[in-house]
Amino acid sequence: MSEKIKFQKEIAIKTSVGILFDMMTTPSGLSDWFCNDVNIDGDIYTFFWEGSEEKAELIRVSKNEYVRFKWVEDEDPSTYFELAIKIDGITKDVAIIVTDFADDQEEVEENILLWESQINDLRRVIGA
């Protein structure tokens, strides 16, 4: 198994930290922009998309800072996806930092486009 490529994408988003954190961690928030529906059973989140579902384990969460998930079916123990909130110390502008992994550079580029599309959906939902 080849080593996956870690990538990050920072995207500015005009909203409050509390609203953004709820959108990243609650079933109602996640189903508004990330997937069609979410079920939570303990630390296992089941994400539903049109005709498919994926399970992810909640690895870490820090209120109003970040949430980290690990896809259950991903056999690589070092991979995860994380949504982190960044606040500029001077301007107080808010950004979301997405950390994810891909198999190759082409997949990195595809995944960045997918995350940008997802974050644009998030912006639309919260009116940012």
Structural domain boundaries, residue 82? 5-126
What is the reported pLDDT for 106? 94
- What is the number of domains present in the chain? 1
* Phi, psi at 15, each rounded to 5°: -165, 175
In Å, how far are 10, 78, 99, 119 from 61, measured between CA atoms?
19, 17, 14, 19
CATH number of the domain enclosing 26: 3.30.530.20
DSSP H or E run through 80: none
Average pLDDT along the chain, 128 residues, taken 10 residues at a time:
87 93 95 94 95 95 97 91 95 94 94 94 90
Q: What was the pLDDT predicted at 114?
A: 94
| pLDDT value of residue 101 | 95
Give the pTM.
Answer: 0.91
